[in-house]
Chains A and B, each alone.
Chain A
């Protein structure tokens, strides 16, 4: 099975090199793709310099959704069987990668999400962020009656069917929650598995308090719409 690790990166020159190397070190047989989302710093050069990652440079900034979709398009056209998405800021532990790939490999699930909260881990985050995560957990539970402990986690592996789906349509910004809803609606088997995550190693979150409120509203609406949208 061919495995592609997609790393969307926007101005992550400080961490991207280390992230790429640690993934290659942890999973030798995986190909790595960095989608440089119109960065203004040296993200692209640093990623290329590692020599183990393919790099796609988006000529303009598309946002996380558009960047991830580019990765899925690439994965689909190059015929990959499994795609893993992971952050460029070093939050996701490369050593944990095989944990989320495993259920896809064995055909247990179509999509596997790495969760920080399924079991007690050392991960700590700001209370405002936890509030947001709780809110989305509650919202998804209320809508489909299934509990996702970490719906905003961007550490996930998907199989070829979902690669094709995401290459065709992938939600815009802050897409993780909406993607869960989409997959549930299409009756894919989505599961969570416990992983260890770090606090970010470099850079800052692109999400400011005011923005996060806006995102909460926007994503909530998107989730509601996805719930009632026609799916074939």
Chain B
């Protein structure tokens, strides 16, 4: 199997899995949109690899695939950063939630008396 065919198969599978995850409501809408867009871009490039060359020439990158690596790496980095921010926010909310639940429990045990 040559690499182009592999690319095409992989991208189609990627899009299929993404749609399936959305259908089963395992992805939030905002991420669903992101992954679908990414999938579409990947499908585009795997079906028409020739558009990479003019694109990289346009931004003066002489070894075309390095443009892919650059964009891919930067995307991953930004996305991981985004996820860390989301986790931090969730962590803060979870802490507050646990505190509220425990305070309520204590109040219940005292017969709700203030």
B-binding residues in A (CB < 8 A):
54-60, 62, 66, 69-70, 73-74, 77
Contacts and interface: CB of A to CB of B under 8 A. Distances in A.
Nearest to A48: B109
Interface of B: 95, 98-99, 101-103, 105-106, 110
A54 B98 CA distance: 18
Contact of B103 (A56, A62, A66): A56
A54 B99 CA distance: 15
B98 A59 contact: yes
Contacts of A70: 99, 102-103
A69 B99 contact: yes
A69 B100 CA distance: 11
Contacts, number: 34
Contact of A66 (B99, B101, B105): B99
A62 B106 contact: no
A55 B102 CA distance: 10
B46 to A, nearest CB: 43
30 contacts: A54-B106, A54-B110, A55-B106, A56-B102, A56-B103, A56-B106, A57-B102, A57-B105, A57-B106, A58-B99, A58-B102, A59-B98, A59-B101, A59-B102, A59-B105, A60-B98, A62-B95, A62-B98, A62-B99, A66-B95, A66-B98, A66-B99, A69-B95, A70-B99, A70-B102, A73-B99, A73-B103, A74-B103, A74-B106, A77-B103
